[in-house]
A and B are shown apart, each in its own frame.
Chain A
Amino acid sequence: MRENDTRENDVILQTVSKIAVFIILTFGMYLFLSGHHNPGGGFIGGLTLASAVILLYITFDLETVNKGIPIDFKMVAAAGVLLSTLSGLGALLFGANFLSQSFAYFDLPLLGETELTTVVLFESGVALGVVGVVVTILINISEDV
């Protein structure tokens, strides 16, 4: 789509987004991790991460980005849903209800006492699912415009 009008000048967009993508990705991770005790979580974290990818697609064209990130986002979505469901089923192994979660405190090197929980697995599944679905939909709409 973009090779037809190479004359367009979007130096500013490209320069800014090269930096902005990393800021967005970091912010997305922050939202994702802070979801444990504060507003945030897998869904909005995933949306933010997806917006970084979409910014890349807007700035550069589909082919360039696909070369750089050779991932089929449908598969990302599938892996996410699978991870979430399986993490819910994992509770069954311990005789608990479906989707039960637990947490414990561990003494990790460098980090000190840290709370680790199984919700992270579920939430990362949600995040992956959101990233996959959102990017897939947008690629689908824009593929042959």
Chain B
Amino acid sequence: METLITLLVGVLVSTATYLLLSKNLIRIVLGTAILSHAVHLLLMTMGGLKGGSVPILDDGTETYTDALPQALILTAIVIGFAVTAFFLVLVYRTYQSVGTDNLNEMRGSKDE
């Protein structure tokens, strides 16, 4: 199962890299979103997939899954959500004021 998820992470990362390398801003935003989800999956896999029951104290259960990676992923998802949302707003405002969502056309300043 771990191998499968790791492969999935690889697929997601390559998709995200492809999107990040494009010139279109919306694709780049999507790329960063996919990239962050790939690393969340990786965090989960690194902590070891299901090895016991839900990490809540209960009678009759012996082993619990490691709760730490889940806490980490939750925090990382929140942060990723905030960053993606901000990035989306930023890209939209830029599109409005510059009038293009193509990175090539955006490098307009003379000292670059």
Contact = CB atoms under 8 A, between A and B. Distances in A.
Contact of A140 (B56, B74, B82, B89): B89
Interface in A97-128: none
Judged by DSSP, the binding face of A is helix
Interface in A17-40: 37-39
Contacts of B86: 137
Interface string B65-90: 00000000010001000100110110
B94 to A, nearest CB: 13
Contact of B88 (A38, A39, A133, A141): A141
Interface in A32-53: 37-39, 43
Interface residues of A, number: 8
Judged by DSSP, the binding face of B is helix
A43 B89 CA distance: 23
Contacts of B74: 43
Contacts of A133: 82
Contacts of B56: 37-39
A83 B101 CA distance: 40
A137 B78 contact: no
B78 A39 contact: no
Contact of A141 (B54, B78, B82, B92): B92
A57 to B, nearest CB: 15
Contacts of A39: 54, 56
Nearest to B84: A137
Nearest to B78: A43
A83 B9 CA distance: 38
A40 to B, nearest CB: 11
B44 to A, nearest CB: 16
Contacts of A43: 74, 78
5 contacts: A39-B56, A140-B89, A141-B85, A141-B88, A141-B92
Instruction: Enumerate the 10 nearest inter-chain pairs by beta-carbon distance, A residue then B residue, closest first.
Output: A137-B85, A140-B89, A141-B89, A141-B88, A141-B92, A38-B56, A43-B74, A133-B82, A39-B54, A137-B89
Interface of A: 37-39, 43, 133, 137, 140-141
Given A37-B56, A141-B85, A141-B88, 5 more contacts: A38-B56, A39-B54, A39-B56, A43-B74, A137-B89
